[in-house]
Amino acid sequence: MKVAVIGAGYVGLTTSACFAHLGHDVVCADLDVERVARLNKGEVPILEDGLPELVAEGLASRRLRFVLGATNAVLDAGVVFLCVQTPESADGSADLSFVEDVAREIAGVLQPGTVVVTKSTVPVGSTRFVQRVLSESGARAEDVTVASNPEFLREGQAVHDFLHPDRIVIGCDDPGAAVRVSDLYRKVQSPVLVTDPASAEMIKYASNAFLATKVSFINAIANLCEAVDADVREVALGMGYDPRIGFQFLQPGPGYGGSCFPKDVAALLHTANQADSDFELLAGVIQVNRAQRERIVEKITNGAGGSLSEAVVAVWGLTFKAGTDDLRESSALAITRRLLEQGAAVRGYDPAAGERAAREVPGLDIAADPYEAAAGADVVAVLTEWDQFRWLDFDRVRDSLRNPAIVDARNLLDPAAMRRYGFRYDGVGRR
């Protein structure tokens, strides 16, 4: 089946390369001339495990190609996936203008029988909104069906998650169209859940909001552990053995970030407010996340001796989590900005996104490695859990610091070992 994918970002690119890998003919469209040209040469602009290999495989087999503009992609497609961005508006709602623009552009050229699928994270009601925009713009309702097929891809593991999903959710009122979409995944082992469109859209938001709630919950427990002299790592382990709770997403840290959780939690809260449905719990999740960033700033201030003005802070890790080069809504970057605002000199190191971080945060110096970042600093802050930070020569780090203090916002390091090296160590929720 011919598949068109509109948008060559994280989701669109992964979707395109994986569908080509599964044997479909895929045309992926983007508006960025340079991005399209580079992709056609096999140059993948994002850090995503396994993606360059799948793009190369797709180009070599001619099952994957990249074109400029949505119209060129959809001409003879049977299924069209909308994977364009839905950024957060000023009021917290998801901005659907990119989705709307694409729907208007392609309405007149879709083949009869095409299924248009929203994969971008779109608010409840968007599937029907897209159907309406398509009809208004010249697509006949009896010819074009719209479905929702939300993605559950983690950045850094998106290819794995696409090919080994926990579930495939298809929201569509037309069973025939739902079967056509599910058929694209026939080589993938996974439960397939067919629902009405609104429920599919809600599944996506509820899943991300629930995971964000777990993160805020364990951050709140970590803070309480500090107050009562308990260790959150033991607590999370003891909780996780209960299969109703599970081990995942119980890592305390500097607060969740990325292009999804902050935006999606805000959008769900906005939806609840619009619907006059009380969801104080979500407001609390956002509040805990904000406070957690401040709490890490306080720990760094203490590590630097009580004041940030005149202090030199070494920041290890700038991306929103390890294994990605994505800086969007990164807690590490938000904390870095706060440190600079409060008068600290900040020298950062990140294995994947240092130079870009320096362009985004005026005043941030970037070092070539973690040692250079630490040299002469008053405190080191581990803000992203890159594995390489575990395996450093800590004698060298200690000797180069002006003051041997480490704030480990990811609980990456062993507190006892760090104290043996002679550091003042402060983690999150650890004794």
And the tokens for 200? 């599919």
Q: How far is the CB of 191 from ligand UGA (least distance, A)?
A: 16
77 neighbors 179 (Cβ within 8 angstroms): no
Q: How far is the CB of 256 from ligand UGA (least distance, A)?
A: 3
CA geometry: angle 402, 408, 412, nearest 5 deg: 125
Output phi, psi for 88, to 5 deg.
Answer: -80, 130
For position 253 contacting ligand UGA by CB under 6 A, the verdict is yes
For ligand UGA, give the closer residue by CB, 197 or 257: 257
Q: How far is the CB of 252 from ligand UGA (least distance, A)?
A: 7
Give DSSP secondary structure letters for 307-366: --TT-EEEEE--SSSTT----TT-HHHHHHHHHHHTT-EEEEE-TTTHHHHHHHSTT-EE
225 is annotated as an active-site residue:
no
CA geometry: angle 410, 413, 418, nearest 5 deg: 135
For ligand UGA, give the closer residue by CB, 192 or 221: 221
Judged by CB under 6 A, the stretch of 52-60, 135-143, 165-173, 245-253 that binds ligand UGA is: 245-253
For position 151 contacting ligand UGA by CB under 6 A, the verdict is yes
Q: How far apart are the first and last CA of the chain?
A: 57
Please count the other Cβ atoms lying within 10 Å of the Cβ belonging to residue 146. Answer: 30
And the tokens for 363? 């005043």
Q: Output the CA–CA distances (angstroms, integers) from residue 303 to 228, 306, 312, 350, 426, in the order listed.
A: 21, 7, 11, 21, 8
For ligand UGA, give the closer residue by CB, 27 or 215: 215
For ligand UGA, give the closer residue by CB, 25 or 201: 201
Residues 211 to 230 in contact with ligand UGA, rule: CB under 6 A: 211, 215
Of the candidates 18, 28, 83, 260, the residue annotated as catalytic is 260
For ligand UGA, give the closer residue by CB, 150 or 370: 150
Binding mask 308-347 for ligand UGA (x = CB under 6 A): ------------xx--------------------------
Contact residues for ligand UGA, defined by CB under 6 A = 121, 151-155, 208, 211, 215, 249-251, 253, 256-258, 260-261, 320-321
Question: Which of the residues are catalytic?
Answer: 260
